[in-house]
Structure 1
Amino acid sequence: MNKKLSSKKLIVTAMLAALAYVLNTMVVFPAMAPFQHFVNVLATYLLGPWYSMTAALLCGSLRMLSGRTIMAVTGGIVGPLLSGYIYKKTENIYLLALGEAIGSGVFGALLSYPFMVAFYGMKAGNWGHLIPFFLPSAALGSLLGLALLLILKKSKLLDRLKKQINK
């Protein structure tokens, strides 16, 4: 990739990471972080998979520093990559949201399992043990993100914002 890093994209990435951190800190769901996935959907649409993954990594790192487990990082970084890849191929925001839900809810859970066993001594029967905990959060957050995308798209604000960021 020979593209220069866009300062606008870096600023928006940092702002979305901060938004995800604040929302996940202020609005607490027991054992869930749906606002990470909400922001992942927005970031993936506006910025693409790599910037979105970076925002998720920044937010997850901040959450780990606040006392969360490594799942704050591993659970949030796969979804933006999968949803970004799907969106680049299809340009379908419904599939973008589905990609985030499956990427974080299933693949993020599978990625988290070995880290939880190695670093936190988790004793679980199989690799799929975390999926029932990750999938509802990822699905809820993805649906919220999709709903906001649809509302903003209808008002034409979303396309203007995306154009402004990618200028």
Structure 2
Amino acid sequence: MKTRTKISTKKLIVTALLAALAYVLNSFVHFPAMAPFQHFVDVLAAVLVGPWYGFASALICGILRMLSGRTIQAVTGAIFGPVLGGLIYRKTHNLYLVFVGEVIGTGIFGALSSYPLMKIFYGLDVKEWYYFIPYYTPAAIVGAGMGLAVLLFFRRSGLLKKMTQSLN
């Protein structure tokens, strides 16, 4: 029981650190309608802490970004990628598929879930349900690509194995 608690505590701490990293990076490096550093951190979270802790990290960062003046898109654009990427990684241990999971999770699922929420809560007057896909997908590709590059570097140096072993 003690060991399980220790692992959960480590994962909670890493989750909080990843949320903070995403928030800080997205605050200082801002692109209009894009948050590539959220997707960068989502890919890291999917591999390091898994889909559910990755979801928590993205949700925490999204809520903090909303409190800083962003719309609900800060949450919907972030939460699906680490879940899908993390579930894929859990089954395959393929880093390239985590990239694909993040892009599909954000670029498709996040974009599609944003449309009705933006319409209901913010009065978005757009008729196309796919409106956000062209905005979310490029940001997800850029950010997930950066995350993949870091993970590949970590794997090559042996650091990824050490990190995942200490967290699992």
User: Where in structure 2 are the equivalents of 1:2-151 lying within 5 Å?
Assistant: 6-151=8-153
Alpha-carbon separation, structure 2, partners of 1:85 and 1:111:
19
TM-score normalised by structure 1 residue count = 0.95
Q: Which amino acid aligns with 2:121?
A: F
Q: Counterparts of 1:127 and 1:112 in 2: how far apart (Å)?
A: 9
Q: Which consecutive residues of structure 1, in runs of 5 or more, have no partner in the other structure?
A: none
- Which string of whole-angstrom CA distances, capped at 9 and with x for unpartnered residues, describes residues 47-94 of structure 1? 100000000000000000000000000111011111111112211110
Runs of at least 5 residues in structure 2 that lack an aligned partner in the other structure: none
Q: Give 1:115's aligned amino acid.
A: L
Distance in 2 of aligned mates of 1:72 and 1:12:
21
Q: 4+ residue stretches of structure 1 with deviation over 6 A?
A: none
TM-score w.r.t. the length of structure 2 is 0.94
CA distance in 2, matches of 1:91, 1:159: 11
Which of 44-53 and 156-165 deviates more?
Answer: 156-165
- Residues paired across the two proteins, number: 164
Q: For structure 1, which segment, 103-112 or 84-93, has the greater mean C-alpha deviation from structure 2 after superposition?
A: 84-93
Distance 2:148 2:29 in 1: 19
Please give the alpha-carbon distance, in whole angstroms, between the structure 1 residues aligned to 2:59 and 2:97. Answer: 22
> Separation in 1 of the partners of 2:70 and 2:34?
11
Q: Which residue pairs with 1:163 in the alignment?
A: 165
Q: Secondary structure at the match of 2:131?
A: helix
Q: Distance in 1 between matches of 2:99 and 2:49?
A: 15
User: Identity across aligned pairs (percent)?
Assistant: 59
Rounded to whole Å, the distance in 2 between the matches of 1:99 and 1:143 is 12
- Structural RMSD (CA): 1.1
2:132 partner SS: helix
